[in-house]
Structure 1
């Protein structure tokens, strides 16, 4: 077993060797909750959900931390008199949680809010000042970029070639220096300030993740993840300040690619900004999960209508095979399948989901062929293998989380009604009353229900499920 991941800092594939093989540790930059989630947020969270599931399969335990940035310039800017910043942040946090849950993203082991770790941030800033890598200025504190010779190592840039920080000057010694602590401003609410040795204020964005990852995972952990757009300046600054404070920090850096819409970068100015709620509206959440997770996590993902159509068709092939196979194959006595070597090899090789999906669909084709040939043993092996593979990727259509109308009484009542209509149709066909048989069939179809006539009877399913 060798898991390889592309390390953004090394810019190469590396064998993944966790510091503690019995507990893989992962920190992923979560959302800044100034507004609701879009499909880029979903794609990023899903990429690391799949990685987490695979590492759990390989190593047994993963401690997974994803933070919530609930204090930030953008959060304050979007607050109103009727909805203060903390209320806005919480409402948007709930929106992210709902969207993540809708597509089956597992909840993190810990999900710390930045506002709950301010004392740890102050302590880290104090260490940086003591080490000579930060300095107070007019109520704020800045990281001294020139004091850290390794600055730029994550993105392989030299400081002289970098753009300056967006922070207001306010006593900065160098344009590249960035804020660790932001002094209180007269136009910002007093509720958005904390006491500190340098005066009232609030933490800068970058120091938040360094402090939270250290608090929940220790000074060194296995994987730091996030979107490719966070490499600079956010992750570059995180690495610099943590290393300058004496922490080994992340052993591997993993970044997911970004989202385009019909070939264009997703952007509010272009009017192609797709919110998570819009993507989920009227769609099976499993289809959305499949569509957003089907491409390699490091690639740019183009989300257009056809992507969801292709995902729906692919899932229907899987679902149809499972339904067909389980009507003739009893796997209850031995439900666990054998994971195909090709599937495992694909995910071991930098989380090759496209190749892993290809193995699933090839197994589906082989399973259908086995059913056609009456080979129950081969069909049984296929259906169990498909079950274990789709389970690892979180796309098993049989998982209860994907069932609509989860009330068992409602499902039973629907089954009784459909079975009664199937019996009426069967009786009409036996009596050669084709008009009645067609009328019953059309009524069933109009309700969005598909029928499949087989040698062992007629079976029904909701169309597209």
Structure 2
């Protein structure tokens, strides 16, 4: 599966700062020192309704991670998946009386278009669950053969007790885990499971649903969590720098994925930092496909909204915060974009060297994009009030905003 084209990232003078970021597993800030190649895995969409503002907010956060690393002169090895076979996708296809493969391809293509328009840097590897199945099957067999997984009526389940570190990503108690498991695709009440929290690794073929050859597992399709594990281990290996996604993925998805990988390899941890973006609400409720309360990036673009303004609207909230999309959020972003473009359109201006360092520091400090925006706002206000004599300053600001925040002025 191919990703989307990369926008050019301007080179800035000097060098950026190492990233300090909030780690869900420890509950505190961690200083990341990735070495010459930083490794990041971000969980992708299930392509049955793309791309809403909640998606865009999540991918904006991890685009900032990449940009901070690139500014430190590192390479970035970024991997993202597409869950192109899963219950929600199949259910939507049945509801709309369309082919599930065509639906997945259509929504994935739209996602690529939106990511391109928003200037999100693409992953080096963009992998669909279906194409990953040949690599998933041997992992499930290994877990079963080692005693870390077991069969139940043809399905294969992972035993959470096989990983002594289980629970360490989300830090939740068993009762909360059980509740969230039921709400987020698990089956804690299924009779015969060793532990209600045990997640499915391989679902035996069901009538009327797609299935693939699973070798000794029989025909079926993979569970949700093992899909990402197989892709991450194949392309990044254990101990990569950042596992990212929305905050609703901390449990069960990232918790289970970490345990799968740790049981498979005997190594700990799967990722050095588990980083989660907040949820976006609309009309007082979390924006989600199941509730249908969605604002789509493509709809905004078709209405003529500049993608740079959409990006500024996302940047105006700290990535870990839960926030609400409103028309005022967008209007504020449009006004900011107009002010910034007017400021950099002049032939000279106030010196921008300190501004670049201020933006770098803000983003290195747990991706504090609102602080970075405020710094540019102050420069733009100074430009409007009294201008300056530095002929290179507007160009420096324009390149810095593009390189570090993905906003083209």
TM-score, normalised with respect to structure 1: 0.77
Q: Which residue in 2 is equivalent to 1:106?
A: 121
Determine if the alignment matches structure 1 residue 274 to structure 2 residue 295: yes
RMSD of the TM alignment (CA)? 2.4
- 1:76 offset after TM fit, Å? 1.7
**1:75-107 deviation line (CA, Å, top 9, x unaligned):** 222224963222211111111111111211122
CA contact (8 A) 1:66 1:112 kept: yes
Q: Would you say the 8 A contact 1:121–1:207 is kept in 2?
A: yes
Are 1:390 and 2:379 matched, yes or no? Answer: no
Higher relative contact order (CA 8 A, sep 6+): 2
2:258 alignment partner, SS class: helix
CA distance in 2, matches of 1:267, 1:203: 24
Q: Contact 1:366–1:382 (CA<8 Å) still a contact in 2?
A: no
Report the alpha carbon displacement of residue 279 of structure 1 after superposing the two structures with TM: 3.0
Instruction: Choose the corresponding residue for 1:28, options 25, 42, 60.
Output: 42
Higher mean C-alpha displacement, 29-38 vs 177-186: 29-38
Q: Which residue of 181, 191, 195 corresponds with 1:174?
A: 195
Query: In the alignment, is residue 307 of structure 1 matched against residue 329 of structure 2?
Result: yes
Query: Which residue of 100, 103, 112 corresponds with 1:97?
Result: 112
Give the greater-gyration-radius structure (CA): 1
Partners of 2:290 and 2:129 in 1: CA distance: 29
Does the 8 Å CA contact 2:163/2:262 hold for their aligned counterparts? no
Structure 1: gaps spanning 5 or more residues: 330-335, 398-465
- Give yes or no for contact 2:315–2:369 (8 Å, CA) kept in 1: yes
| Cα distance change, pair 340–98 in 1 and its aligned pair in 2 (3 A) | closer
Q: How much has 1:238 moved relative to structure 2?
A: 0.4
Residue 339 of structure 1 deviates from its aligned partner by 5.8
Distance 1:243 1:271 in 2: 36
Shift of 1:61: 0.9
Go from structure 1 to structure 2 and tell me whether the alpha carbon gap of 1:316 and 1:87 turns closer, same or farther (over 3 Å shift): same
Q: Distance in 2 between matches of 1:185 and 1:312?
A: 49
1:134 aligned to 2:149?
yes
Change in Cα spacing, 1:174 to 1:270, as seen in structure 2 (3 Å) is closer
State the Cα distance separating 1:263 from its structure 2 match: 4.0
1:346-380 CA-to-partner distances (Å, cap 9, x unmatched) read 11111111111111121222333453xxx423xx3
> Which structure 2 residue ranges, 5 or more long, are not aligned?
1-16
Residue aligning to 1:198:
217
Q: 1 CA distance for matches of 2:38 and 2:392?
A: 31
Structure 2 distance, partners of 1:363, 1:207, is 48
Q: Deviations over 1:298-323 (max 9, x none)?
A: 11132100111101111111111111
Structure 1 residue 337, shift from structure 2 partner: 6.3
- Mark the CA change 1:269 to 1:136 in structure 2 (over 3 Å): closer, same or farther: closer
Number of aligned residue pairs: give it: 382
In structure 2, do the counterparts of structure 1 residues 195 and 159 end up closer, same or farther at CA, with 3 Å as the change threshold? same
2:277 to 256, 260, 265: 256
Match of 1:340, SS state, is: helix
Asked whether 1:218 is paired with 2:218, we answer no
SS in 1 for 2:313: helix
Give, in whole Å, the separation in 2 of the partners of 1:13 and 1:187.
47
CA-to-partner distance for each residue in 1:16-37, whole Å, 9 max, x for gaps?
121xx11000000000112232
The structure-2 alpha-carbon separation of the partners of 1:89 and 1:338, relative to structure 1 and needing over 3 Å to count, comes to: same
Out of 354, 359, 376, the residue aligned to residue 370 of structure 2 is 354
1:187 aligns with 2:208: yes
| Partner residue, 1:3 | 19
Check whether the contact 1:338–1:385 (CA below 8 A) recurs between aligned residues. Answer: no
- What is the DSSP-based 3-state SS (H/G/I as helix, E as strand, rest coil) of the residue aligned with 1:119? helix
Q: Give CA-to-partner distance per residue, 1:264-299, whole Å, 9 cap, x none.
A: 332567663222223332311111111112211111
Question: Residue 48 of structure 1 is aligned with which of 53, 62, 72?
Answer: 62
